[in-house]
Amino acid sequence: MESYFLSKYEDQITIFTDYLEEYPDTDELVWILGKQHLLKTEKSKLLSDISARLWFTYRRKFSPIGGTGPSSDAGWGCMLRCGQMMLAQALICRHLGRDWSWEKQKEQPKEYQRILQKLALFDEWNSLAVYVSMDNTVVIEDIKKMCRVLPLSIDTPGDRPPDSLTASNQSKGTSAYCSAWKPLLLIVPLRLGINQINPVYVDAFKECFKMPQSLGALGGKPNNAYYFIGFLGDELIFLDPHTTQTFVDTEENGTVNDQTFHCLQSPQRMNILNLDPSVALGFFCKEEKDFDNWCSLVQKEILKENLRMFELVQKHPSHWPPFVPPAKPEVTTTGAEFIDSTEQLEEFDLEEDFEILSV
């Protein structure tokens, strides 16, 4: 079974390219996470860009959750896997850059292996400032309060910068203190209609994939979550987590075999109006200037609409509770206690339910 799987996987580059031939012969641009590709002449670049995204799917044969829980997330973990893909893209942007590309069986930077190893282990290397908007409103003041970090002076360790310290003084180098920016993962949950997406939101939704800060969107259909990474015309391009693969552990040399973490099959597409109206947009701002640029793009492309997808305001609304930056959570549960029974999940551990990556 393993050899059959690997031999089939070897041919995915060719299969992927063949499937791209089925895309319409058009002069329209394909947008993938802030980058554009001309489908007619840049299919190989499009392939490379999509295959570089980390692809997280159902897994089987991992250590039982909580020691006695399920050893596979098939059938119930698709939204978690989509969230992993968005988080992984944020970490790639942080440590490798948006223009980083992946090639099969080619040695990758050590930062890439650390992303695979540490995705479920948050430390200072891969920690992000995470802001989740509420009431369809993004508050600039709150984000800057959370992301601006004032490191201690080298000359006066242990002292906090004086309150009178201004940004202009910092930029002129008149103080030993320098304001830093903690990389931002911005999540904007939205409801774009009642039972289906309201067409008035379509253009603004697509504009979000054009922004250089784009991490795509989480959404899909009832009981089926997908990670949307771009669009062509009125069709969304997405990575599908609904393939069950065997769990991959860290090898003795400390690396992770990444061959099953990149999708070399044809990217799937969905008409945007078939998308469930509950979605979550993701954006990554490595530096403060990236966030300022994102705010400008939102004001120009999103807030111009009469019926806006979301609001962007400067100040914290007075009728809201005070903003408290989230602290690192203390994990007191394995999650196993939330699963009433594993009987309904046992069927997903059967060999015949293992999906082979083939056509």
Convert the pLDDT of each residue in 23-65 to its tens digit: 667 778 999 999 999 887 788 888 889 989 999 888 888 888 8
The catalytic residue among 37, 78, 147, 262 is: 78
- Choose the most confident range, by mean pLDDT, from 11-20, 125-134, 296-305: 296-305
| Exposure string for 50-83, b = 16+ CB within 10 A, e = fewer | bbbbbbbbbbbeeeebeeebbbbbbbebbbebbb
Q: What is the pLDDT of residue 125?
A: 54
The catalytic residue among 242, 295, 316, 353 is: 242
* Residue 295, helix vs strand vs coil: helix
Whether residue 329 has pLDDT greater than 60: no
Rounded Cα–Cα distance for residues 237 and 143 (Å) = 30
* Residue 205, helix vs strand vs coil: helix
Which one, of 230, 242, 241, lies nearest residue 23 by Cα? 230
Which one, of 168, 31, 51, 40, lies nearest residue 101 by Cα? 51
Whether residue 151 has pLDDT greater than 80: no
* 279 close to 192: Cβ distance less than 8 angstroms: yes
Q: Using 50, 70 and 90 to split pLDDT, how confident is the model at 343?
A: low
Mean pLDDT across the chain, nearest whole number?
79
Point out which residues pair with 311 in neighbouring strands.
137
Lowest mean pLDDT among 324-328, 343-347, 354-358: 354-358
Q: What is the pLDDT of residue 251?
A: 78
Whether residue 214 has pLDDT greater than 70: yes
pTM of the full predicted structure?
0.79
Whether residue 354 has pLDDT greater than 90: no
Q: What is the pLDDT of residue 191?
A: 95
* 96 close to 111: Cβ distance less than 8 angstroms: yes
Q: Which residues contact 117 (CB under 8 A, 6 or more apart)?
A: 250, 254, 256
Instruction: Provide mean pLDDT across the span 146-152.
Output: 77
Strands 35-38 and 29-32: antiparallel
Write out the DSSP string of 48-99. HHHHTSB---EEESPPPGGGTS-SB-TTT-HHHHHHHHHHHHHHHHHHT-TT
Rounded Cα–Cα distance for residues 288 and 149 (Å) = 11
Rounded Cα–Cα distance for residues 138 and 263 (Å) = 33
Is 240 a residue of the active site? yes
Rounded Cα–Cα distance for residues 168 and 83 (Å) = 38
Percent of the chain predicted with pLDDT > 90: 44
Q: What is the pLDDT of residue 179?
A: 66
Rounded Cα–Cα distance for residues 228 and 218 (Å) = 6
| Exposure string for 183-199, b = 16+ CB within 10 A, e = fewer | bbbbbbebebbeeebee
Residues 219-265 have pLDDT tens digits of: 998 889 999 999 999 999 999 998 888 888 877 677 788 888 888 77
The catalytic residue among 240, 258, 276, 290 is: 240
Centroid of chain to Cα 223 = 19
Q: What is the pLDDT of residue 216?
A: 97
